[in-house]
Structure 1
Amino acid sequence: MATSRRAVLGAALGGAVAAGLPGIATPASAASWQLRWSPSASSDKLRAFETIEDDRADSHTSAAPHIFAEGDNFRFNMHTVDRDTSTDRQRHEVTGCRNGSSYLQWKSGQTWRITYSMYIPSTLKATTSFTHIMQMKQPGTGSSPIVVQSLRRVDGAQTIELKLFDSNILVGRTALEPLHNKWTDVDFQIKIGNGSAGSVRWILKSGGSTVIDKSKSGVDTFLADRVRPKWGIYRSLGDSSGSLQNCHMLLTNMRGYQLV
């Protein structure tokens, strides 16, 4: 089992220009990242999130809970027998960023940043069909994701990627296997806007070195109401590579910032 990741993420939290988020021309002196969410798994536990989607179909109650706090980490367990309410897929996810009795509301025109560390064991493999480990969505049922961070087989190779879902725009993609069985730092930034008013930036770091740093501007990052982040394991059973097996994922040092 992986040990807790206690080191603070290496990304410096300075002004907007230092962050380099595309589409923002505001001088650094006029805008900066303000910490809005900093849960502790050991003390806040699952109260850190707005909602919990743990085996919604009660398909594997003997293994409950599938999502829980384990020391300083949030742990997501997935078993091959687990099923979502849509039986062609599996889903154990958490949504939103809760602060006590309230939660962050990401609105159109705002810019948000999420940083955290994730541990992906070699048992959590990329698949030929979808395996999402982070999504940006409009709350409620029936809407498509806005942004997805996914584990995908590309020409047989395991990769991790970020895409704008509806437009199928690839922001970036890199090899997954070098990131297996170790902690990877994630820095995700989103300017929320309709049409061409939005932008995203995606950074992965491992062992203090940048693995990938990609961004897209002039993209649509808003559907309606608000944007809400999701984390966990959400995967299709339609994989044809034989990659589905019992697995887990760990998240820690989760932080949420707003550019103000």
Structure 2
Amino acid sequence: MCLRSGHAQTLFLQANGSQDAYTLINDKLVEFDGNAFETSDCSHRDFGPHITQVYDAILRKHVFRFHIHRDEDTDRCVKFDRQRTEIKVYAKSPDWMKATEQSSFAYKWKFKVDQKFQPSKKFTHFFQLKGVGGVYGTPLLTLTARKAPKGQPAKLELRHATHAKASKIRVAKLQPFLETWLQVNVEATFGSKGKLVIQIKSMNDNHTLLYYESNSLNMWKQDADFIRPKWGIYRSLRDKKSLRDEVIDFADIEIKVKSAMGN
């Protein structure tokens, strides 16, 4: 469903339990023929689709379940030192979903990570704002889980990168984010003098677990064609022994363009 009102356009992506998950995703995120999902189905055919739907008793509705398997999965049978199960806005998505300089967007979603979730010392991304084209391939923004040095608790990092190297702009202990539905709200104005607000709340008690706000953050990638969101799990295998098979649930994904080209 796309709602239009002046410059405001909104997309809601919700599981329904009756349609194939990939069909639902493509119906919302693809304008022409293509796939808005990146999975390891090609390297793990015995498992079948790596994005499915399950009924969630807490939300009382169907949600998307993202599966990833340590030993069988790859990155689309293209790269083998990492693996991913993600959905994305991309070149074949409607143009209004692609963030350009001076545009403002709001992104909202719910997700839940298992209590026994195991990150590695390398990256495990749950969300990315990533440039398409441009000089640097490093994501502009990520929510990244990471195993800490021995004796320290695992972390959830909010990472930001305008060039090749990312820096941590917020860090929190990972444990409070596990085994609870999380509501994530992101507001971003894109450009070299950009703005960012991100809030993650536990839906168990409405407590804010992570908050970041800046009115003077570089929110652009040099020479990028556009910035797009990605949801799911994307992780390195370079610390494979720390990992295990995982499922991550997502629900109520929303993209809203608040203003285009500074309007």
> Aligning the two structures, in what range does the TM-score lie when normalised by the shorter sequence?
0.7 to 0.9
Q: Is the 8 A contact 1:123 1:248 kept in 2?
A: no
Correspondence list, 1:85-124, <5 A: 85-96=78-89, 104-124=97-117
1:209 aligns with 2:207: yes
C-alpha separation in 2, matches of 1:64 and 1:216: 42
Identify which range, 94-103 or 75-84, moves more after superposition: 94-103
User: 2:29 touches 2:94 (CA, 8 Å); kept in 1?
Assistant: no
Aligned residues: 225
Deviations 1:211-239 (A, max 9, x none): 12112343322221111100111101122
Say which is worse superposed, 101-110 or 184-193, in terms of deviation.
Answer: 101-110
- Provide the rounded CA distance (Å) in 1 between the counterparts of 2:168 and 2:53: 32
- Classify the secondary structure of the residue corresponding to 2:225: coil
Q: Residues 218, 135 of structure 1: CA spacing in aligned structure 2 closer, same or farther, 3 A cutoff? A: same
1:229 corresponding residue in structure 2: 229
Matches for 1:1-260 after TM superposition, within 5 Å: 34=8, 36-42=10-16, 45-47=24-26, 48-50=28-30, 51-55=36-40, 58-71=42-55, 72-81=62-71, 82-84=73-75, 85-96=78-89, 104-139=97-132, 143-155=137-149, 156-165=152-161, 166=163, 167-194=165-192, 197-206=193-202, 207-223=205-221, 224-239=224-239, 242-260=241-259
Partner Cα distance (1:137, 1:62) in 2: 31
Q: 1:99 to 1:238 in 2, by over 3 A?
A: closer
Name the CA distance, whole Å, in 1 between partners of 2:182 and 2:91. 23
Identity, % of aligned pairs? 23
Structural RMSD (CA): 2.8
> Once the 2 structures are TM-superposed, how far is the Cα of residue 102 of structure 1 from its aligned partner?
6.7
The two structures have a TM-score, normalised by structure 2, of 0.76
Q: Residue 200 and residue 55 in structure 1: after superposition, are their counterparts in 2 closer, same or farther (change >3 A)?
A: same
5+ residue gaps in structure 2? 1-5, 31-35, 56-61
Letter in 2 for 1:213: Y
1:46–1:69: 8 Å Cα contact kept in structure 2?
no
TM-score normalised to structure 1 length = 0.77
Change (3 A) 1:100 1:164: closer
Q: CA deviation at 1:70?
A: 3.3
Distance 1:122 1:97, change over 3 A: farther
Say which SS state the counterpart of residue 220 (structure 1) adopts: strand
Offset of 1:63 from its aligned partner? 1.0
- Alpha-carbon deviation of 1:68? 2.8
Contact 1:34/1:259 (8 A) holds in 2: yes
Report the residue type matching 1:109 in the other structure.
Q
Taking the aligned partners of 1:215 and 1:34, their CA distance within structure 2 comes to 22
How far residue 163 of structure 1 moved from its aligned partner, in angstroms, is 1.0
Amino acid at match of 2:39: D
How much has 1:100 moved relative to structure 2?
Answer: 9.3
Contact kept, 8 Å, 2:145 with 2:157, in 1: the verdict is yes
